[in-house]
Every structure is written in C-alpha cells, then in structure tokens.
Structure 1
Amino acid sequence: MPLAISLHLLAAVIWVGGMFFAWMILRRVAGELLAPPQRLTLWYHAFQRFFPWVWASVVVLLATGLWMLFGVFGGMAGAGVHVHLMLVTGLAMMAIFLHIWFAPFVRLGRAVADEDWPTGGQQLAQIRRLIGINLILGLVTVAIASAGRYL
C-alpha cells in the first residue's frame, strides 16, 4: 500500500497544486500585465501543458483509489465515511474537468486560433469559474483525506 498511497498523494498534489497556482497566482499576474490577446494565448498554451498532467492524475487517482478501496477496506462497505466523501468529491472534480476539456477548452482554442478575443474571454471566464469550483473541491478533499479518519 505505500506505493498506492504515494502515487495517490502525488497525483492529488500535482492536480490541486496546479489549480492553486493557476487560480491564485497566474490569473492575477496575467490579468494585470497582459492585454486580452496575449492573456488568452498564454492561458490556452498553459492549459495545453497542464491538462495532460491532469489526465495522468485522474488515471492515477482512480487506479490507486480503487486499489486501496478494495485492497485495504475490502470495498465500500468496509470504508469509512471519509473514503466515501473523497470518492464523491473526486468523481465530481473529474466530471468538471471532463467538461472543461471537451467544451470550453476546445472553444478557447478555436477562439485563440481565430483571434476572436471576446469569445475567448467568455470561454476563459467559464474555465476560470470551473477551476475555482474544482480547487475548492480539491482542497476539501485534501482536508478530508488528511483528517477524515480521525473524525
């Protein structure tokens, strides 16, 4: 189980940490320093590099989470409430990411390619809101993971 736990934690840190950096740091700096064409282009290319890491994190989180769920707890019946909550919040985060990937991110890419900055701004705003929700869910999940079994 040490391997599963380590991989699980690393995947969560990569995903949640990346969202924290994007939301709390890059968003503000890009908004202050860059005009819309440069800002939207920056975000699109940053997402192009970050989202493959999110995909890898999703795969690792699902695989290691199920490995631990069935290998340690013997299934959902043997898992505590904190494990159930982590599964629910994790699946919600994954669903939100899938929506981002297949909808506003694709539209942002088209808008940047077409230099349609108003549409790109709308898509980036939608992505920003969804990442904000995912960041909150991710931080809650980390808190549940680290303290949940002691409640």
Structure 2
Amino acid sequence: MAVALALHLLAAVVWVGGMFFAYLVLRPAAAALEPPVRIALWREVLGRFFRWVWGAVLVLPLTGYWMVAALGGLAHARWPVHAMQAVGWLMIALFLWLQARPWPALRAAAAAGDWPAAGAALARVRAVVALNLALGLALAAIGALGRYL
C-alpha cells in the first residue's frame, strides 16, 4: 500500500506540477518571444513534458485501483475516492484528446512554418492544460482532505 501511495503521489506531482509550471511560469515568460521562437520552445517543452504525462496516465489509475482494492474495493470507498476516480478519468480523457487533435496540429503547423495555425493550436493546448490544471489542483485538495470530508 505504501508503494502504491508513493507512486500515485509522485505521478500526480509530476503531472499537476508540470502543468502549474507551464501555465503560470513558462507561459508568461515565453509571451515576450517572437512567434517562431515561442512555438519552437513550446513544441520542445511540451514534447518532453507529455512523455512524463503518459507515464502518469498509466501509473495513476493502476496505483489508484491498487489502493482501492487493498481497502476493500469501490463499494467500501467514501465519496472522495469516487470523486478522484471520476475527475481523474476526465483529466485522462482531456489529455488523450489533446494528444489526438491540438498537439499533432501544433507540431504540423510548426514544421510547416505556419505560425498563425501553430498559435491557434497552441491556444487549444493551453486551454486543455488550464482546465486540467484546475481539475488537478481540485483533486490534490480532495486527496489531501479526503479523510476529513
């Protein structure tokens, strides 16, 4: 159980912390760059970050259900566990959509030097990241306070 919890927390920290950094620190700093440089930066940063998110997408459900099973299954879980499960799957679905649509569009537009299209795709990526960041922070609060709710 301790191993599952540690892996679960580390995966959540990587995903949510990465989104926090990207959205609230890197995005404002990168805004001063010219579009070709800004898009190239984001393409490189997001490409590296998304590899880590794929790991989190695998680890979080596995360790979450491992812990739920160890505690007697979903039938015995309190509402915070069900909330974390539902919101977690929503976050994963949003990430999968991002990987299927805006991310390939951003990469293709950047490779073609179509900066307006790349900027529009980056705006869609940013919107998903903003939503997933809000959901991830809410999940962190639920996870931390769950036993007291």
What TM-score results when the alignment is normalised by the length of structure 2? 0.98
Give unpaired runs (5+ residues) of structure 1.
Answer: none
Aligned to 2:8: 8
Q: 1:125 aligns with which of 97, 102, 123?
A: 123
Give unpaired runs (5+ residues) of structure 2.
Answer: none
Runs of 4+ in 1 over 3 A off after TM superposition: none
Spell out, residue by residue over 1:16-69, the C-alpha distance to the aligned partner (whole angstroms, 9 max, x if none): 00000000000000002x101110111011111000100001111011001011
1:89 Cα deviation after fit? 0.9
1:81 Cα deviation after fit? 0.3
> How many residues get paired?
149
Aligned to 2:30: 30
1:148 Cα deviation after fit? 1.6
Aligned to 2:89: 91
Distance 1:85 1:62 in 2: 13
Percent identical pairs in the alignment equals 49
Distance 1:150 1:45 in 2: 41
Distance 1:131 1:75 in 2: 31
Aligned residue runs from structure 1 range 37-76, under 5 A? 37-72=36-71, 74-76=72-74
Distance 1:69 1:116 in 2: 47
1:71 Cα deviation after fit? 1.4
Q: Find the residue that maps to 1:28 and give its secondary structure.
A: helix
Q: 1:82 aligns with which of 56, 80, 83?
A: 80
Distance 1:141 1:21 in 2: 17
